[in-house]
Amino acid sequence: MGTETRRSREDWDALWHEVTESFSPGAPVQERDLFAGRQDQLRTLVDTVHQRGRHAIVFGERGVGKTSLTNILGLMLRSPRREVVAVKVNADPGDSFHSLWRKVFKRMNYEVQRDGGPPVVRTFADDHPVELTPDDVQLELSNFGPGQVPLIVLDEFDRIEDERVTRLTADTIKALSDYSVNATVIVVGVARDVTDLIKGHESIARSLVQVRMPRMSQDELGQIIVSRYGKCGLTTTDEALWKMTFLARGIPYYAHLLGMHAARAAIGRESLHVARDDVRAAETAAVAELDASIKDAYFTAVRSQRGEETLFAPVLLACALARTDELGAFQQAAVTAPLARVLPGKNYAPTTFAFHMNAFCDAQRRRVLERFGEPRNQRYRFSDPLMPPFVVVKGLADGLISDDIAEVFENRRPLRLADRE
């Protein structure tokens, strides 16, 4: 577009930085107006905080936006009438019940007035030097006045290795519920299914509101990109936006990564309009910049002995292109058509690539795929949801597939965006 006013090199550099700052592929969202979608989940959590004796569990795949959701919840609960005392902690693999709740109590403080002297700030943890029990937690949380409501978010709960912590936290939540304490606990963790997260403590499921975080819709991903472009004065085409949100496969991390790199490419050629070629440049940049753990797992999964040509990389690419159900699972048969497109004219029989798919389920190939289901109806899925978008974007960046092949297995439709510029 040639309509923009003349800008100096410094202006373009400043815009480049503005774009880089407004996208956050590496960090949860902290600002309300940059948070896309998730209205149902937010509403449920706000209701939970407002109801005595209710607590919640937020679960979903890695990277779908669980932490961002609880950040925005904290912002939404600000009210002049009631102060929400929000405390958020990340669980560590080695945490005990004591160390987990001590982290919470270290972040809750109060002032003590000493005769004549200045007030002294003490944390709740100062009052509990010895082993914390569920009863201590219940008592402390009951001590808040009616004008203050504690909200405790226990993030990364799935990382805790000791099952006793789950049981004692379950007991605590149950006691808070039974005594109708005006405090809300939100447990957050990576899990496909809520029972994975509470490991056999189904009794707490009754006092917990379950908030499932699905992958984001393509519309929501579009919103992530256009809201930031709008803020920076950038526009894009429907086609470019469709492609970025298609490639992201419901994972907001990729919408940030591709959206940011495409914008930088446009700015690099001194344009405020992000077009299809900028998305192409973003594919290469995204592959280069991607989280090292995903790249590492990919190269281990497809490596071949002594440099020989093997089918591992094309079969993994075909798996990433296979049509899946809403849980990301696909059958072996669904890989045939994409493989024929990736390697035209070869017509590999399923028995040939079955070997590769099974090998992907081994530890040696990082269990990049998981196999499950009855022997007659076996299905596969990528164990890391961040992997398939990488595999496809890499396939495009390396020229192994074209856009047409990447998209042929999906139906295209216009995106619905709330405030399209």
Ligand X SMILES: Nc1ncnc2c1ncn2[C@@H]1O[C@H](COP(=O)(O)OP(=O)(O)OP(=O)(O)O)[C@@H](O)[C@H]1O
Return residues touching ligand X (CB under 6 A).
24-25, 27-29, 35-38, 62-68, 190, 224, 252-253, 256
22 phi/psi in degrees, rounded to 5: -80, -25
Residue 134 or 252 with smaller CB distance to ligand X: 252
What percent helix, strand, coil does the chain show, rounded to 5?
Answer: 50, 15, 35
CB of 298 to ligand X, least distance (A): 18
- CB under 5 to 8 A by kind: which of Mg ion, ligand X, none does 169 bind? none
Residue 215 or 394 with smaller CB distance to Mg ion: 215
Q: How far is CA 86 from CA 83, 151, 234, 376, in A?
A: 9, 5, 36, 50
* Per-residue binder mask for Mg ion (CB under 5 A), 67-96, x = binder: x-----------------------------
Strand partners, 84: 149
Q: Residues 301, 325: contact at Cβ < 8 Å? A: no
With CB under 5 A as the rule, give the number of residues binding Mg ion: 1
Stretch that binds Mg ion, among 65-73, 213-221, 285-293, 307-315 (CB under 5 A): 65-73
Residue 151 or 311 with smaller CB distance to ligand X: 151
Q: How far is CA 227 from CA 1, 24, 61, 251, 419, in A?
A: 20, 13, 24, 17, 8
Q: At what angle do helices 39-50 and 66-76 cross, to 10 degrees?
A: 50
CB of 285 to ligand X, least distance (A): 16
177 phi/psi in degrees, rounded to 5: -70, -50
Residue 35 or 97 with smaller CB distance to ligand X: 35
Exposure string of 301-336, with b = 16+ CB inside 10 Å and e = fewer, is: bbeeeeeeeebbbbbbbbbbbbebeeebbbbbebbb
Q: How far apart are CA 413 and CA 173, in angstroms?
A: 45
CB of 203 to ligand X, least distance (A): 26
Exposure string of 232-258, with b = 16+ CB inside 10 Å and e = fewer, is: bebbbeeebbbbbbbbbbbbbbbbbbb
CB of 38 to ligand X, least distance (A): 5
Stretch that binds Mg ion, among 64-72, 109-117, 161-169, 340-348 (CB under 5 A): 64-72
417 phi/psi in degrees, rounded to 5: -120, 140
- CB under 5 to 8 A by kind: which of ligand X, Mg ion, none does 253 bind? ligand X
Residue 61 or 140 with smaller CB distance to Mg ion: 61
Residue 35 or 390 with smaller CB distance to ligand X: 35
Point out the residue whose Cβ comes nearest to ligand X: 65
The full DSSP string for 27-61 is: S----GGG--S-HHHHHHHHHHHHSTT-EEEEEES
Stretch that binds Mg ion, among 46-54, 62-70, 340-348, 370-378 (CB under 5 A): 62-70
What's the chain's length in residues? 421
Point out the residue whose Cβ comes nearest to Mg ion: 67
CB of 216 to ligand X, least distance (A): 7
Residue 155 or 278 with smaller CB distance to ligand X: 155
- CB under 5 to 8 A by kind: which of ligand X, Mg ion, none does 249 bind? none
Exposure string of 136-159, with b = 16+ CB inside 10 Å and e = fewer, is: bbbebbeebeeeebbbbbbbbbbe
- CB under 5 to 8 A by kind: which of ligand X, Mg ion, none does 381 bind? none
CB of 63 to ligand X, least distance (A): 4
- CB under 5 to 8 A by kind: which of ligand X, Mg ion, none does 177 bind? none
- CB under 5 to 8 A by kind: which of Mg ion, ligand X, none does 335 bind? none
Name the residue type at position 411. Answer: N
Residue 45 or 149 with smaller CB distance to ligand X: 45
Residue 67 or 223 with smaller CB distance to Mg ion: 67
Strand partners, 385: none
Q: How far apart are CA 38 and CA 46, in angstroms?
A: 12
Give the interface with Mg ion as residue ranges (CB under 5 A): 67
